[in-house]
Amino acid sequence: MKKLGFIGLGNMGKGMALNLVKAGYPLTIHDVRPEPVQELVKAGAKAAGSPREVAENSEIVITMVTSSPHVEQIMFGDDGVLAGMKKGNIIIDMSTIDPIVTRKVAAAAADKGIDMMDAPVSGAPPKAADGTLSIMVGGKKELFDQCKSILDVMGEKVIHVGEVGMGEVVKLANNLAAAIAGVGMFEGFLFGVKLGADPKVLYEVMSASSGNSWVLQTRVPYPNVIPGSPANDDFAPGFTTDLMAKDLGLILSAAEATNIPLLAGSLTRQLLEAARAAGYGSKDWSVIARIIQQLAGEDEK
């Protein structure tokens, strides 16, 4: 089996890396926090002191970090991934970042004879832990075919979406649609509840009607309507407000650079920033429903 490296053992990356160890892959890992590294070492991984050391001990390096600057930090420089990789090695960046940064890293890798794919994921930490993420992969088709068995360990639905950088584009488009759909659903519930409707009745009708959506099935903004909704637990995160705000920022930046008007996307970003300003950055992004409710003078429920 290919020798793998994994950098970034956060809420998502730790579960993804554990699944690779369980599948029998030799895995070298790195993270700035010692706790997840120790957990992975106990499971059978080997710890490395830097991204470069991970690369020196791997044929394929997988990265899963939170932002474009983090990706650039671990890729470039004397201690970076590119400094330790050999010609013919492969990088799979599974972070959700700016497609322009993805293509910058891919170009630098290509100059050294290193192939790269971007493979951002959709799904919360529980899906990372049980290996059922959706993975959108940008890169050469032959490279995708070569690496698909590795990606299958981490994802239930693994889709090749085009050349390198297109994984990020498709992932961000998906998040844009989901966030905007959430605002519509949250306002629909607010309207109904303010005029006297029971949230459980609203859910029953919407889920069988044109108002149905993935957001409705996972993030009803009132507690104890459906199991598993973040609202049941004071908006404990699946996907945090900070991360969704970051993604909307990437989307709007790319849209501005390419003259794409995103009216609903701009409003959604402002609601996310309002939630962050209210101290909700670490809560699930559906907490923007609380901001919408407060604007209407509704007490928290």
Cα separation, 298 vs 82, in Å, equals: 53
Angle at 122 between CA 120 and CA 123, to 5 degrees: 135
Residue position matching structure tokens 């993030």:
219
pLDDT (0 to 100) of residue 124: 85
Q: Which of 244, 251, 188, 247 is nearest to 220 (CA)?
A: 188
Strand partners, 101: none
Locate the domains of the chain by residue range. Answer: 4-164, 169-295
Equal fold, 4-164 vs 169-295 = no
Cα separation, 48 vs 7, in Å, equals: 10
pLDDT (0 to 100) of residue 300: 53
pTM check: above 0.85: yes
The whole-angstrom distance between residue 20's C-alpha and the CA centroid of its chain comes to: 18
Residues with catalytic function: 171
Contact, 154 vs 128, CB < 8 A? yes
CATH topology assigned to domain 169-295 = N-(1-d-carboxylethyl)-l-norvaline Dehydrogenase; domain 2 (1.10.1040)
Strand partners, 141: none
The whole-angstrom distance between residue 57's C-alpha and the CA centroid of its chain comes to: 26
Write out the chain's pLDDT in tens, 301 residues. Answer: 899 999 999 999 999 999 999 999 999 999 999 999 999 999 999 999 999 999 999 999 999 999 999 999 999 999 999 999 999 999 999 999 999 999 999 999 999 999 999 999 998 889 999 999 999 999 999 999 999 999 999 999 999 999 999 999 999 999 999 999 999 999 999 999 999 999 999 999 999 999 999 999 999 999 999 999 999 999 999 899 999 999 999 999 999 999 999 999 999 999 999 999 999 999 999 999 999 999 999 865 4
pLDDT (0 to 100) of residue 301: 45
Tokens representing 289 are 């429903």
pLDDT (0 to 100) of residue 294: 96
The whole-angstrom distance between residue 251's C-alpha and the CA centroid of its chain comes to: 14
- Please check whether the domain covering 4-164 is classified as CATH 3.40.50.720: yes
Cα separation, 62 vs 55, in Å, equals: 10
